[in-house]
Structure 1
Amino acid sequence: MDIVSFVAIVLAFISVIGGSILKGSGIGALLSGAAFMIVVIGTISAICLHTPGSTLKRAMAIVKWVFMPPGSDPHKLIERVVEWSQTARKQGLLALEGMVDNETDPFIRKGLQLLVDGTEPETLRGVLEVEIEAREHHDLAAAKVFEGAGIYAPTLGIIGAVMGLMAVMKNLADPSKLGHGIAAAFVATIYGIGFANLFLLPMAAKLKAIVQGRAREQQMLVEGLVAIANGENPRNIEARLSGYLH
């Protein structure tokens, strides 16, 4: 669990609500059903139209990574690769067959199976790199869903503000309604810019970093498996993979 993300969300709310209170507007000034409809519902509709269904579904699946990123321990992975290389060097590649069924990660399981099957090193690399590239592309597209939402939200906030000002213009004959009407008109702008810059764009950036980190770790695994297939010395394999830690 990423505690920093939870703290960031809390601080985001504190910054907006606290700022509104300190400015004298109060919390009530931030509540607007019309602004919510225009900005939030409008952004959802825009991003649904913008995004293919499969990508949208993947985006909803990986959004939890912002708070609970997938487990990653490259040091432990290097230790496992070195252990595999030592086993293969002493007992042959077939000795790794028992480890395939015990592996929970589908990508690692596939790589080990290819290794046990005696797949040529370059063929093994090619098969796994295609999968890495395809998965990274799909996950990055999913992360960009939130980036797209962060682009649409401020524009819809401006639309909401203009619509609010249009309503104000209809009440020019009643000065008592002007101040409240103008304040309400700008709530939509706050919603749009606030959601985009405090939530949507940071979420997209974090998800893209996680996706790219997973791809690098998988690439490191591929290098290790190819080195095992080539019969390289376990110490050399460890030294090579350690370069990915920097």
Structure 2
Amino acid sequence: MFPIVGIVVVLGCIAGGYLIEKGNLLVLMQPAELLIILGAAIGTVLIGNPPHLLKAIASSFGGVFKGSRYTAGLYLDTLRFLSDFFATSRKNGLTALENDMDEPDKSALFKRHPAFTANKEALHFFCDTMRTMLAGGVEVHDLDQVMETDLEVLHRQSRLPAGALTTMADSLPGLGIVAAVLGVVITMGSLGGPPEEIGHKVAAALVGTFLGILLCYGFLGPIAANIKKLTDAEGEYFLCLRMGLLAYMKGLAPMLALEAARRTIPHHVRPTFQEMDKACKKQPGAPAAEAAA
């Protein structure tokens, strides 16, 4: 929602200021200049990125307008899932949940938390970590290092679309100059024509520079920055999972493990202790109550 508002504000302020000074908007409508700039920019992205990253770039655009999926509701459901899992494993033993981790799509425990299981990366991270723990013979600090490495790889890959779009945005002013130079070349071929025609061609050439700068700093640059922030939000979510799992593997009581996870959540989406406690007590077996045991 806010990116759309921002786009409207950018266009409205630029067009409004231009019209206040009696500018003609039709002069800014230069399809050829736009084709040169955007077409060449898209070409640079195709040259510089492999196919799998191109798909990630395309999907990341949708994330900008949908907003972050790492909301307060998702964090609360994740804490409820961790509470449910910790209490069940404490009651029945971790080995009793081995089948649940092998086939989470068929597990009643996982099905109770659809918001968590909808995130396949988080689901695989959780299940892979628990399987490694079940294998035995692994020290807690070693498993924590494995989790850290896994999340570093995930975060590095998640940042690639934003980096590619930033590179594309940086190229737009230069491509705007390319379009302007081509416009000047065309203008030089019309020097013997009427002054009105020459003026129109010079204006069209200058629009190329204008469009390159506007697209870079008014649209694509901010979009790339937004995608980077969404990636950071993903990293914060996985840190929450990692800290909860680490506390559990150290043998802390379920509520302490949940609190360790809750404290890593950013303040604007962090549930209060009371909200977490109330949500966890609604679960089968009231795992929050078992924390005191």
**TM class by smaller structure:** 0.7 to 0.9
Given residue 50 of structure 1, which amino acid in structure 2 is its aligned partner? G
Gaps of at least 5 residues in structure 1 are: none
Residue 119 of structure 2 is aligned to residue 118 of structure 1? no
Report what 2:15 is aligned to: 17
Check the 8 A contact 1:88/1:228 in 2, yes or no. no
CA contact (8 A) 1:96 1:112 kept: no
Residue 84 of structure 2 corresponds to 83
> Which residue number corresponds to residue 157 of structure 2?
138
Relative to structure 1, is the Cα distance of residues 91 and 118 closer, same or farther in structure 2, using a 3 angstrom cutoff? same
Residue by residue over 1:44-87, the C-alpha shift from the partner in whole angstroms, topping out at 9 and shown as x without a partner, is 11222122332222211222110113521334323432332233
**RMSD of the alignment, in Å?**
2.3
Match of 2:272 in 1: none
CA positional deviation for 1:195: 0.8
Q: Deviations over 1:111-139 (max 9, x none)?
A: 13542662444454344433322222122
Q: What's the secondary structure of 2:159's corresponding residue?
A: helix
Match of residue 197 from structure 1? 217
**Residues 1:159 and 1:107: Cα distance change in structure 2 (over 3 Å):** closer
Divergent runs of 4+, >6 A: none
Q: For CA contacts below 8 A with separation 6 or more, give which structure has more relative contact order.
A: 1
2:273 maps to none
2:67 counterpart SS class: coil
Q: 1:209 Cα deviation (Å)?
A: 0.9
Q: Comparing 167-176 with 232-241, which one deviates more in the overlay? A: 167-176
Question: In the alignment, what sits opposite 1:211?
Answer: 231
**What is the deviation of 1:171?**
2.8
- Cα distance in 2 for partners of 1:49, 1:19 equals 37
Distance 1:137 1:113 in 2: 19
Aligned to 1:105: 119
Q: Is the 8 A contact 2:237 2:265 kept in 1?
A: no
State yes or no: 1:62 paired with 2:77: no
Give the aligned partner of residue 93 of structure 1.
Answer: 94
Structure 2: which 5+ runs fail to align? Answer: 111-116, 267-293
Q: 1:113 to 1:183 in 2, by over 3 A?
A: closer
> Percent of counterpart pairs with the same letter?
25
Task: Encode CA deviations 1:215-244: one digit per residue, 9 max, x unaligned.
Answer: 121122022122222221123223322321
The one-letter code sitting in structure 2 at the alignment partner of 1:140 is R
Give the AA of the match of 2:79: I
Which residue is equivalent to 2:38?
Answer: 40
Q: Deviations over 1:156-179 (max 9, x none)?
A: 111211222232233333323232
> Does 1:236 pair with 2:256?
yes
TM-score, reference length from structure 1: 0.87
2:290 match? none
Shift of 1:183: 1.2
Aligned partners of 2:129 and 2:32: how far apart in 1? Answer: 57
**Deviation at 1:206?**
0.7
Cα separation, 1, equivalents of 2:128 and 2:182: 61
TM-score by length of 2: 0.74
Determine the C-alpha separation between the residues in 2 that align with 1:114 and 1:175.
73
Q: Following TM superposition, by how much is the alpha carbon of 1:184 offset from its aligned partner in structure 2, in angstroms?
A: 1.1
Secondary structure of the equivalent of 2:148? helix
Name the aligned partner's letter for residue 207 of structure 2.
V
Give the whole-Å Cα distance in 1 for the aligned partners of 2:221 and 2:227: 10
CA spacing shift, 1:231–1:112, aligned 2, 3 Å: farther
Task: Specify the alignment match of 1:165 in structure 2.
Answer: 184
Q: Secondary structure at the match of 1:67?
A: helix
Matched AA of 1:236: L
Pair 1:221 & 2:236 matched = no
Which amino acid is 2:119 matched to? D
